[in-house]
Amino acid sequence: MIGKVESFLKLELEKKNALLFVLIDSEVSNLEASSKLAQDVEKIGASAILVGGSSATDQIEMSQVVKGIKQGIKIPLILFPGNVTGVVPDADAILFSSLMNSENPYFITQAQALAAPSVAKFGLEPLPTAYLVVGDGTSAWFVGSARGIPFEKPKIAAAYSLAAQFLGMRFVYLEAGSGAKTNVTPEMVKTVRHTFNGFLIVGGGIKDVETAESLVKAGADALVIGTFLEEGGSLTKLEEIAKAIQRSK
Ligand code: 1GP
């Protein structure tokens, strides 16, 4: 069933060519900094805040950060769990993801089974997502025991995305990994776009307008940016990225 957050994202996508999601790692920024950051990025046009990541494992801290951020924003707060510890109350939705190209079944279905009762209990809207790790050497790749899809093999990413669609998943997240040196290529995004008829999220290593524009032109529906801000990137530049992707499809 399509819930409120998914409907909101679809509506946003009708108004804007592509959306900006900002990833906040609850273990990098403290509560105060995270709340302020979320409010600031909402003002410059971000459509959702993601909280989580594969290295965020302190559930108590995450819970506090989520609660704190939620009070100050109107855009959806979506959990982006790296494990069962990423499931906390007070968020609006969760990228209910299967790391489809993991070599460990735990990350494909077991963590999901362990987490599902809490997702229901906390009233989180599950966004059914195929999480595909591209390349190697990142935390998401290592922690998730992923057999990274080679950057230059877009057809493999497209095959996984089509499988995801056949399995009923409405979101695909092409992930190069947080702080990745190389982002997912526009060629891969284009190939997946031709195959996958759902909401296409792309993230990992995006820090400039040019890259962001090329990924959106290739067919990304939303870009996720995290490290750029963690490393002190300016809000002015993020706003330029937001404006560029909202008009460039
Ligand atoms: C990581 O895709 C997200 O899971 C965002 O990547 O931190 O490199 O922006 P960055």
Residue type, 79: L
Confidence of residue 249 (pLDDT cuts 50, 70, 90): low
What pLDDT shows up at residue 161? 98
pLDDT value at residue 1:
85
For residue 206 and ligand 1, the question of a CB distance below 6 A is answered with yes
Atom of ligand 1 nearest to the CA of 183: 8
Average pLDDT, the chain: 96
- pLDDT tens digits for range 214-236: 999 999 999 999 999 999 999 99
Q: What is the pLDDT of residues 119-178, one digit of tens each?
A: 999 999 999 999 999 999 999 999 999 999 999 999 999 999 999 999 999 999 999 999
Ligand 1 centroid to Cα of residue 118, in Å, is: 25
Nearest of 85, 189, 204, 73 to residue 138 by alpha carbon:
204
Q: Is the CB of 154 under 6 A from ligand 1?
A: no
Residue in this structure with the two tokens 């990142």, named with its chain if needed: 138
Give mean pLDDT, residues 94-112. 98
Q: Is 76's pLDDT higher than 70? A: yes
224 lines ligand 1 (CB under 6 A): yes
Asked if pLDDT for residue 2 goes beyond 90, the answer is yes
| Cα–ligand 1 centroid distance for 191 (angstroms) | 21
DSSP 3-state of 186 = helix
Please tell me the total number of residues recorded for the chain in this structure: 249
What is the per-residue pLDDT for 148?
A: 98
Cα(125)–Cα(131) distance, integer angstroms:
17
Long-range contacts of 183-188 (CB under 8 A, 24+ apart): 183/211, 183/215, 184/134, 184/151, 184/215, 185/151, 185/152, 185/154, 186/214, 186/215, 186/217, 186/218, 187/154, 187/218, 188/134, 188/151, 188/153, 188/154, 188/157
Find the mean pLDDT for residues 105-127. Answer: 98
For residue 193, what are the domain limits?
Answer: 4-246
The answer on pLDDT for 248 being more than 70 is: no
pLDDT of residue 26: 79
Question: How far does the centroid of ligand 1 lie from the alpha carbon of residue 199, in Å?
Answer: 17
Mutate to test the pocket of ligand 1, among 19, 22, 23 (most ligand atoms within 8 A of CB): 23
228 lines ligand 1 (CB under 6 A): yes
Pocket test for ligand 1, best of 54, 227, 237 (most atoms within 8 A of CB): 227
CATH number at residue 56: 3.20.20.390
Rounded distance between C-alpha atoms, residue 38 and residue 174, angstroms: 23
pLDDT tens column, 19-65: 999 999 877 778 889 999 999 999 999 999 999 978 778 899 999 99
The Cα–Cα gap between 48 and 78 comes to: 7
Number of domains in the chain: 1
Query: What are the beta bridge partners of residue 134?
Result: 149
At 177, list the tokens: 């990994």
pLDDT at 53: 79
